[in-house]
């Protein structure tokens, strides 16, 4: 199979659990702390590698030369991700502050991307042949947008299927959106792209239609506990959430979805089946703490879909 190529960032997640977030100037006691691998692109790479039954998953990024970089390489080696890394000794491997609310598992995040925040169009150009060889190219917005744009341009010219996960939320030029076969925002990201509030499936359809008018090929809006909406010029299909048990943490759910969705598309599945595969991947991930460590294996996803 042709590979899946993902451009993005790795950060070390520093995850804190507490009853609530502190106010400015306030110190509170937390209930737990975990240090582990994160970054949307890296998480999606791990999810895809774990979910894949044949396609190799390559991850393009920058790291510093430090202990957090060691965590990245160990994570990728365990999952089977092929690193395509430029070492940036003038910067540091990124880190993220993640607050997790005890009662709900909901989260708030601050990302300092470090070296990965210096990923350049030239870095992407250096991997152009790899991108051209891919079945699927995936990127997000944690690394600089010019790098993401260059990757989408290279993939589009080569006829590679492109997925943009527009996270964190940002407004984007129509010229960039028009390079995307699939755009996969959550509710808040869809609102940032369209100016339309998304709190229901019907509102998601309106936002998806607005994105199609900007040149996007198809839209998948992830809706948390309401599942996902797939919308293109021919059909609009709501895929309900696929539950694998009680929710423990939602931090990596979107990344799990994107990784699983990319794998299913690379395998030639029908697009609605690919959305269901992504929902199942996410449905398992939220039953576990952490981000990359929560990504399920292929056999687990298939077992959930078979139920």
The catalytic residue positions are: 255
Q: How far is CA 208 from CA 145, 175, 218, 240, 241, in A?
A: 22, 17, 8, 17, 19
What angle do the packed helices 40-51 and 67-79 form, to 10 degrees?
20
Cis ω on the peptide bond leading into residue 80 (within 30° of 0)? no
Q: Is beta strand 11-18 parallel, antiparallel or unpaired with respect to 32-38?
A: antiparallel
Where do the H-state alpha helices sit in the chain?
Answer: 40-51, 67-79, 121-125, 128-132, 145-157, 174-177, 187-194, 201-213, 253-266, 271-285, 298-306
Which tokens in the block code for residue 34?
Answer: 């975990």
């Amino acid at each position: 199979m042709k590979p899946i190529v993902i451009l993005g960032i790795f950060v070390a997640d520093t995850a804190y659990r507490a009853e609530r977030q502190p106010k400015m100037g306030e110190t509170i006691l937390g209930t737990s702390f975990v240090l582990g691998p994160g970054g949307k692109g890296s998480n999606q790479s791990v999810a895809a590698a774990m979910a894949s039954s044949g396609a190799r998953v390559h991850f393009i990024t920058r790291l510093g030369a430090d202990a957090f970089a060691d965590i990245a390489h160990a994570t990728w080696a365990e999952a089977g991700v092929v690193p395509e890394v430029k070492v940036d000794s003038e910067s540091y491997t990124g880190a993220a502050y993640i607050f997790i609310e005890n009662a709900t598992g909901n989260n708030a995040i601050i990302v300092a991307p470090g070296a990965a925040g210096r990923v350049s169009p030239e870095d992407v150009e250096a991997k152009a042949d790899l991108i051209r060889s891919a079945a699927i190219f995936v990127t997000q917005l944690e690394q600089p947008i010019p790098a993401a744009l260059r990757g989408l341009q290279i993939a589009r010219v080569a006829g590679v299927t492109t997925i943009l996960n527009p996270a964190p939320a940002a407004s984007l030029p129509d010229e960039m959106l028009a390079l995307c076969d699939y755009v996969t925002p959550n509710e808040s990201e869809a609102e940032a792209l369209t100016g339309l509030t998304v709190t229901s499936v019907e509102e998601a359809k309106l936002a998806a239609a607005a994105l199609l008018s900007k040149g996007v090929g198809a839209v998948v809006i992830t809706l948390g506990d309401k599942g996902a909406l797939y919308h293109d010029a021919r059909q609009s299909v709501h895929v309900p959430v696929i539950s694998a048990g009680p929710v423990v943490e939602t931090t990596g759910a979107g990344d799990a979805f994107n990784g699983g969705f990319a794998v299913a598309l690379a395998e030639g599945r029908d697009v609605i089946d690919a959305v269901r595969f992504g929902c199942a991947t996410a449905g398992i991930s939220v039953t576990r703490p952490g981000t990359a460590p929560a990504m399920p294996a292929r056999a687990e996803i298939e077992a959930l879909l078979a139920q």
